[in-house]
Amino acid sequence: MRQQHKQTNKKTKKKLISLFFILVLCTNCGTYISNIPEVKAVNETHTGVVWNVTVDPLTNWTFRATKVNSYDITTNLDLQLKVENYFNFTLTSDTSAFLSFNIVNNSLDKEDTFWRNTSKGELKEIHFKVNCFGSDNVPKDIRVIIESVNEFPQHFNDSFPKIIKVNENTNNDTSVLSIFPYLIDSDIPTPQLKDFTYTVKTSNVQNDATPWFYIPIASSDNLRVKASPDFDQLHKNNISILTLIVVVKANDESGFEINTTLQIEIVDVDDLPPSFQYPGCQNNCSVTPYEAYTGPSWRGPIKVQPTDIIAKDQDSLGSSIKYSIKKSPNNYHSSFEIDQSTGAITQIGDVLTVNVLTIVATEDTANGFSQSATLLIRLSNDSSYLPETSKVKDDSSKLRLIVIVVGAISLVIIGILIFLVIFVYKRTKKKMTVVPKEQSPNTTVEDLVSDRPSTVDEKVNNWKQTIDPMQWPTVTSRRQQLDPLHLRDESTETEESSIKKKRPRKKKKKLMEIFDGTKQYDGKADIEFYMEQNKKKIKRSTKSKNKRPETGPLFVKSD
């Protein structure tokens, strides 16, 4: 019993001692915990003590991480422990102890992957609960705000244009480039347009672009046109690309500054009319005095002096040119026409007076800029003023006529020669000779007629000896006529079956002689017949061989 009583007294003493300490701690915790700041801001690069608080060394403290930004992590013990490991919450054991809250090893870097994933973006704040041991204490929420630090300098991305094109007729104060979209900054949060200052400066070269381009407001990233550059003027100075330097500077305490070279190509546009290419004229001549000589009735091209009519686009675009003749009040232009492509002038009508034509050169573009020139038409009969091409055409036409005449004469001569050959051939055609069918071609007519027999029987016998018996003529026709002899043409070595019969000539009918005074006949007139008063002689009107019987005298009364 005594031992149990002793043990009970010991337990009671321990409880009383514990209750005493608890009463002391609870009394002191409320005072100390109120000294801890609820909000504390630190840079993301800060290391070491966040805050220190003097407390009783006999007090006991705890802290727990509860939120990252607005996300509760108390349900995820593993994540909660990882967050708490980035901090150090300690109490010194001195008589005047310090409660310290420290950041370990630059662990609040916003660019750190852990914090980016835990905060689901940018790490802005971390929440804790701090507690002092006691029965009546109240846990206190504290918040650490993490402020961004510009750790990394900005730079231009690969898409930044090294050269841009600007038309020469761009209006003043027109924006040609925005710079901020081409900036990259690895810091979190991503810098904004207002976080930088934008300027341009000269490149210290001949093609400096700052006289034509500028950034009017440093807080704006717009590169604008200060004065429209003239492409044609720059081209005369052999300049087509301008250059300037773009400068971007961070506005924070880091003061990071970067720059890059930007080239600006000035693009030519159709803003100038064409210009006639005239000796001594340098672009856009107001008066271009062309002249040409022609004849009143000339038809064809005319020669323009001192040079051909040629116009060119003053812009570098090289637009094609169309030519035309402006209508004149007196319709003088109707005697001429112009080639739209070449500008060549052709006379198509009579020209009786000296006058002036207006030649118009128009660009074949949407703007259709045009320029005019004058052409003075003079009259002259001198062919030297005609264009060389006309003379060549005249010579060629004469040569063509000569060739035609010579060809026609040649055809006539050839025709005559052919006619003569045919005529001579017909007149000199060799006679056909009688040649036995099987006779040697070397046998001549002299051989056949030598020792000519005197009698008919001898002739027949001789022919029978020379002619094959199979070739002897026999009586075959009804008129008891012999077969025709075989005839052979010695000139052509061909045979004919029979001799061609000559056609008898037809006798021309003589016309009756009519002596009624309507026709004229050769011979002398019978004057005695007409002079006799009593005519007993008969005058016949025809000269027929068969004389008509006399029917009596014909009496013609003479007047």
* 78-82, 152-156, 267-271, 541-545: least confidently modelled range: 541-545
Q: What confidence score (pLDDT) does residue 279 get? A: 78
Q: Which residue has the higher pLDDT, 136 or 101?
A: 101
Burial 120-131 (b: 16+ CB within 10 A, else e): eebbebbbbebb
- Rounded CA separation 405/416 (Å): 17
Q: Parallel, antiparallel, or unpaired for β 289-294 and 370-379?
A: parallel
Sheet holding 196-202, edge to edge: 163-167, 257-267, 241-250, 196-202
Mean local confidence (pLDDT), 217-234: 91
- Rounded CA separation 83/364 (Å): 75
Distances in Å between the Cα of 497 and the Cα atoms of 187, 434, 438, 489, 503 are 130, 11, 15, 11, 18
Residue 144: band (very low, low, confident or very high) from pLDDT cuts 50, 70, 90: very high
458 contacts: CB under 8 Å, gap ≥ 6: none
Q: What confidence score (pLDDT) does residue 198 get? A: 95
Assess if CATH 3.40.366.10 describes domain 275-385. no
Q: What confidence score (pLDDT) does residue 62 get? A: 86
* 211-225, 425-439, 440-454: least confidently modelled range: 440-454
Q: What confidence score (pLDDT) does residue 21 get? A: 43
Q: Across 219-223, 427-431, 539-543, which has the greatest mean pLDDT? A: 219-223
Proportion of the chain above pLDDT 90, given as a percent: 35
Q: In the chain, which segments carry CATH 2.60.40.60?
A: 155-267, 275-385
Residue 107: band (very low, low, confident or very high) from pLDDT cuts 50, 70, 90: confident
Average pLDDT, the chain: 78
Residue 280: band (very low, low, confident or very high) from pLDDT cuts 50, 70, 90: confident
Assess if CATH 2.120.10.10 describes domain 155-267. no
* 182-186, 308-312, 455-459, 495-499: least confidently modelled range: 495-499
Q: What confidence score (pLDDT) does residue 282 get? A: 63
pLDDT at 429 over 80: no
Q: What confidence score (pLDDT) does residue 214 get? A: 95
Residue 33: band (very low, low, confident or very high) from pLDDT cuts 50, 70, 90: confident
Residue 27: band (very low, low, confident or very high) from pLDDT cuts 50, 70, 90: very low
* 78-82, 339-343, 520-524, 547-551: least confidently modelled range: 547-551
Mean local confidence (pLDDT), 397-401: 78
Q: What confidence score (pLDDT) does residue 18 get? A: 44
Mean local confidence (pLDDT), 147-163: 92
pLDDT at 245 over 90: yes
> CATH class for domain 29-147?
mainly beta
Q: What confidence score (pLDDT) does residue 100 get? A: 85
Beta strand spans in 149-253 (E):
155-156, 163-167, 175-178, 183-184, 196-202, 213-214, 222-225, 241-250
pLDDT, tens digit (0-9, with 9 covering 90-100), for 166-204? 999 899 999 999 999 999 998 888 889 999 999 999 987
Mean local confidence (pLDDT), 432-436: 47
Q: What confidence score (pLDDT) does residue 361 get? A: 93
113-117 long-range Cβ contacts below 8 angstroms, 24+ apart: 114/82, 116/188
Q: What confidence score (pLDDT) does residue 94 get? A: 62
Q: What confidence score (pLDDT) does residue 17 get? A: 43
Q: What confidence score (pLDDT) does residue 423 get? A: 85
Q: What confidence score (pLDDT) does residue 556 get? A: 52
pLDDT, tens digit (0-9, with 9 covering 90-100), for 490-546? 555 555 554 455 566 665 555 555 555 566 656 666 666 666 666 555 555 544 445
Residue bearing tokens 């993301």? 44
Q: Parallel, antiparallel, or unpaired for β 213-214 and 222-225?
A: antiparallel
Residue type, 39: V
Beta strand spans in 74-187 (E):
87-91, 97-103, 125-132, 140-147, 155-156, 163-167, 175-178, 183-184
pLDDT, tens digit (0-9, with 9 covering 90-100), for 285-298? 656 689 999 989 89
Residue 258 near residue 226, CB atoms below 8 Å: no
Q: What confidence score (pLDDT) does residue 23 get? A: 42
79 contacts: CB under 8 Å, gap ≥ 6: 73, 118
32 contacts: CB under 8 Å, gap ≥ 6: 53, 54, 55, 56, 59, 99, 132
Q: What confidence score (pLDDT) does residue 413 get? A: 93
Q: What is the pTM of this model?
A: 0.54
Q: What confidence score (pLDDT) does residue 480 get? A: 53
Q: What confidence score (pLDDT) does residue 278 get? A: 80
